[in-house]
């Protein structure tokens, strides 16, 4: 079953390869969507795909890459939109 989640990570999440590692992990899992730095210092991402794989990405976002400190992770389910590939915005 295809699912879609929008996440927003706050803390020390920019300048720690959060986007690059999220993209590599998403591509390895076959998850589509995107990830972007926001002006307020947070990172926003959308993950779409198999429910278990999307949940794996959300779980990873709770920790982030080495060097990151995720203080808060907002997770909002959305209707699947047919994302194609995974992009860093």
Asked if 19 is an active-site residue, the reply is yes
Which entry of 6, 10, 12, 37 is annotated as an active-site residue?
A: 37
Q: What is the pLDDT of residues 36-87, one digit of tens each?
A: 999 999 999 999 999 999 999 999 999 999 999 999 999 999 999 999 999 9
Look up the pTM and report it.
Answer: 0.96
Containing 57, the helix (H) or strand (E) segment is: helix 51-63
pLDDT of residue 1: 86
> How are strands ordered across the β-sheet holding 32-37?
69-78, 2-12, 43-50, 32-37, 86-88
Catalytic residue flag (residue 10): no
| Domains defined along the chain, listed by start | 2-42+49-79 (3.30.70.100)
Identified catalytic residue from 4, 19, 23, 25: 19
For the chain, give the number of residues: 89
Nearest-angstrom CA–CA distance, 49 and 58: 12
């Amino acid at each position: 079953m295809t699912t879609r989640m929008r996440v927003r990570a706050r803390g020390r999440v920019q300048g720690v390869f959060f986007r690059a590692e999220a993209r590599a992990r998403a591509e390895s899992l076959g998850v589509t969507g995107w990830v972007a730095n926001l002006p307020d210092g947070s990172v926003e991402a959308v993950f779409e795909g198999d429910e278990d794989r999307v949940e794996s990405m959300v779980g990873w976002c709770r920790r982030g890459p080495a060097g990151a400190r995720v203080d808060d992770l907002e997770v909002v389910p959305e209707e699947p939109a047919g994302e194609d590939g995974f992009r860093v915005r």
